[in-house]
Structure 1
Amino acid sequence: MIKMTTEVTHKLYTMCMIQDGTKVLLMNRPDKKGFPGYIAPGGKVEFPESIVNGAIREVKEETGLTVKEIVFKGIDEYCDPSQGLRYMVFNYLATATEGELLNNPPEGELLWVDMKEALNLPMQDWFKRRFPLFFEPGTFEVSFVWLADTDETLEATIKNYGV
Structure 2
Amino acid sequence: MRNEVSLYTMCMVQDGTKVLLLNRPDSKGFPGYIAPGGKVDFPESIVNGAIREVREETGLIVKDIVYKGLEESCEPNSGHRYMVFNYLATSFEGELLEQPPEGELVWVEIEDALKLPMQDWFKRRFPLFFQDGTFELSEIWDEKNDRVLEETARYYPARLPQEAGYSGS
User: Scaled by the length of structure 1, what TM-score is found?
Assistant: 0.96
Aligned partner of 1:3 in structure 2 is: none
Aligned partner of 1:154 in structure 2 is: 149
* Cα drift, residue 60 of structure 1: 0.1
3-state DSSP class of the match of 1:71?
A: strand
Query: Aligned pair 1:23/2:18, yes or no?
Result: yes
What is the CA–CA distance in structure 1 between the aligned matches of 2:75 and 2:63, rounded to whole Å?
36
* Cα drift, residue 132 of structure 1: 0.2
Q: Which has the larger radius of gyration?
A: 2
Aligned partner of 1:110 in structure 2 is: 105
Matches within 5 A, 1:135-146: 135-146=130-141
The amino acid across from 1:57 in the alignment is R
3-state DSSP class of the match of 1:117?
A: helix
Query: Aligned pair 1:52/2:47, yes or no?
Result: yes
Query: Aligned pair 1:11/2:25, yes or no?
Result: no
3-state DSSP class of the match of 1:58?
A: helix
Aligned partner of 2:167 in structure 1 is: none
Aligned partner of 2:161 in structure 1 is: none
Q: Point out the structure with the larger strand share.
A: 1
What is the CA–CA distance in structure 1 between the aligned matches of 2:81 and 2:131, rounded to whole Å?
25
What is the CA–CA distance in structure 2 between the aligned matches of 1:141 and 1:148, rounded to whole Å?
21
3-state DSSP class of the match of 2:64?
A: strand
The amino acid across from 1:146 in the alignment is W
What is the CA–CA distance in structure 1 between the aligned matches of 2:144 and 2:118, rounded to whole Å?
21
* Cα drift, residue 56 of structure 1: 0.1
What is the CA–CA distance in structure 1 between the aligned matches of 2:125 and 2:150, rounded to whole Å?
17
What is the CA–CA distance in structure 2 between the aligned matches of 1:55 and 1:147, rounded to whole Å?
28
The amino acid across from 1:86 in the alignment is R
The amino acid across from 2:135 in the alignment is F
What is the CA–CA distance in structure 1 between the aligned matches of 2:101 and 2:7, rounded to whole Å?
21
How big is the alpha-carbon RMSD for the aligned residues of Structure 1 and Structure 2?
0.6
Between the aligned residues of both structures, percent identity stands at 70
Matches within 5 A, 1:63-102: 63-102=58-97
1:22-51 CA-to-partner distances (Å, cap 9, x unmatched) read 000000000010000000000000000000
Deviating more after overlay: 143-152 vs 9-18: 143-152
* Superposed structure 1 runs of 4+ greater than 2 Å apart: none
* Cα drift, residue 83 of structure 1: 0.6
Aligned partner of 2:164 in structure 1 is: none
The amino acid across from 2:100 in the alignment is P
3-state DSSP class of the match of 2:72?
A: strand
